[in-house]
Amino acid sequence: MTPTRVAVVGVGHLGRHHARILAAIPEVELVAVADTRIEQARAVAEGLGTRAVGDYRELLDRIDAVSIAVPTSLHREVAGAFLERGIATMVEKPMAATPAEAEELVKLADARGCLLQVGHIERYNPALSALDAMPMRPKYIAAERLSTYTFRSTDIGVVLDLMIHDIDLVLSMTASAVRSVAAVGVSVFGGHEDVANARIEFEDGCVANLTASRASYQAVRKMRLWSAEGYATLDFASRQGTLVRPSDQLRLAQLDLSEIDFSTPASVKDQVFGKILRVDQVQGDPRDQLAMELVDFIHAARTGTKPRVDGEQALRAMRLAGLVLESLNAHQWEGTASGPVGPSQIPQPLSASPSVLRGPISWRSRNPRQSAAPSSDSLPTPTGP
Beta bridge partner(s), residue 235 = 222, 240
Residue range 146-205, pLDDT digits in tens:
999 888 888 899 999 999 999 999 999 998 999 999 999 999 988 899 999 999 999 999
Q: Which helix (H) or strand (E) is 299 found in, with range?
A: helix 289-303
Please report, for the chain, how many H helices and E strands are present, in that order.
12, 14
User: Could you give the angle at the alpha carbon of 360 between the alpha carbons of 357 and 366, nearest 5°?
Assistant: 85
CA 18, CA 28: separation in Å to the nearest integer? 12
Query: Taking a C-beta distance cutoff of 8 angstroms, is the pair 321, 164 a contact?
Result: yes
The pLDDT of residue 183 is 98
CA 66, CA 19: separation in Å to the nearest integer? 10
What is the separation of C-alpha 372 from the centre of its chain, rounded to a whole number of angstroms? Answer: 52
The pLDDT of residue 161 is 96
Q: What is the pTM of this model?
A: 0.85
| Mean pLDDT, rounded, for 250-276 | 72
Distances 213 to 149, 163, 186, 255 between C-alpha atoms, Å: 9, 8, 10, 43
Backbone angles phi, psi at 44, to 5 degrees: -70, -45
| Mean pLDDT, rounded, for 258-275 | 72
Over 80: is that where the pLDDT of 339 sits? Answer: yes
Query: Taking a C-beta distance cutoff of 8 angstroms, is the pair 116, 310 a contact?
Result: yes
The pLDDT of residue 150 is 84
* 68 against 249, higher pLDDT: 68
Residue range 340-365, pLDDT digits in tens:
999 988 887 766 555 554 544 434 44
Q: Which helix (H) or strand (E) is 374 found in, with range?
A: none
DSSP 152-204: -STTS-HIIIIIHHHHHHHHHH--SPEEEEEEEEE-SSSSS-SEEEEEEEETT
Neighbour tally for 151: CB within 10 Å: 8
Beta bridge partner(s), residue 9 = 34, 68
DSSP 225-289: EEETTEEEEEETTTTEEEEEEE-HHHHTT----TT--TT-HHHHHHHHBTTTEEEEEEE---S-H
Over 60: is that where the pLDDT of 375 sits? Answer: no
Neighbour tally for 72: CB within 10 Å: 21
**What does the chain come to in residues?**
385
The pLDDT of residue 324 is 98
Residue range 60-98, pLDDT digits in tens:
999 999 999 999 999 999 999 999 999 999 999 999 999
Query: Taking a C-beta distance cutoff of 8 angstroms, is the pair 37, 94 a contact?
Result: no
Beta bridge partner(s), residue 352 = none
CA 371, CA 265: separation in Å to the nearest integer? 53
Angle at which helices 99-112 and 311-330 cross, to 10°? 170
Neighbour tally for 8: CB within 10 Å: 34
Residue 3 pLDDT level (bands cut at 50, 70, 90): very high
Q: Which helix (H) or strand (E) is 108 found in, with range?
A: helix 99-112
Q: What SS3 state is found at 311?
A: helix
Query: Taking a C-beta distance cutoff of 8 angstroms, is the pair 158, 194 a contact?
Result: yes
Mean pLDDT of the residues in the chain:
88
CA 287, CA 21: separation in Å to the nearest integer? 12
Q: DSSP code of 381?
A: P
Q: Percent of the chain scored above 90 by pLDDT?
A: 70
Which of 91, 93, 77, 87 minimizes the C-alpha distance to 109?
87
